[in-house]
Amino acid sequence: MTIYVDADACPTAIRDILLRAAERKKIPVIFVANSTLKLPHSVFVSMHVVEKGPDIADDWIAFRASEGDLVISEDVPLADRVIEHGAVVLSSRGVFLDKTNIKARLATRDLLSDLRDSGVETGGPPPFDQRTVRAFANGLDRFLQRKCMN
């Protein structure tokens, strides 16, 4: 099992939780972004820098993520791609995306995009606060407990 992180927009608090989990559970975590992130030296943590451009980091992750892997991302189209390969997605807000809910999430994303394109204000996500960080940490812990028991 590998954890892939769509790291261009990954909040620092989430990155810190993932770094601690990598060491604690001895699981490889790969941060993927179009610029280098400052990460501690670890045999379990690595950084892969991709070229700048739309969806290049997503393409890199989608090509590699497979059955049993976890992808950390807010990107719904990326989530759809990796779920097709058997991976599970956890958003930085602690929401799991998998085969049971990804198509509904894609439809909602497309609807909101169409509304915004027509001039309707749809609002944004709620603030990223300590409750959100705890939701992510709890979701990650649940995933790791299930995977490490198998």
pLDDT tens figures, 59-82: 999 999 999 999 999 999 999 999
Tokens of 21: 């989990």
Length in residues, the chain: 150
Phi, psi of 38 (to 5 degrees): -80, 110
pLDDT digits (tens, 9 = 90+) for 34-62: 999 999 999 999 999 999 988 999 999 99
| Helices then strands, each counted (H, E), the chain | 5, 6
Domains of the chain with CATH codes: 3-149 (3.40.50)
Q: What is the pLDDT of residue 149?
A: 62
pLDDT tens, position by position, 78-121: 999 999 999 999 999 999 999 999 898 888 877 877 777 788 87
pLDDT confidence band for 150 (50 / 70 / 90)? low
Could you give the CA distance from residue 100 to residue 135 in angstroms, rounded to a whole number? 20
Rounded Cα distance between 84 and 98, Å, is 9
Of the candidates 37, 85, 35, 80, the residue with the CA atom closest to the CA atom of residue 64: 85
Query: DSSP string spanning 57-126?
Result: HHHHHHHH--TT-EEE-S-HHHHHHHHHTT-EEE-TTS-EE-TTTHHHHHHHHHHHHHHHHTT-----PP
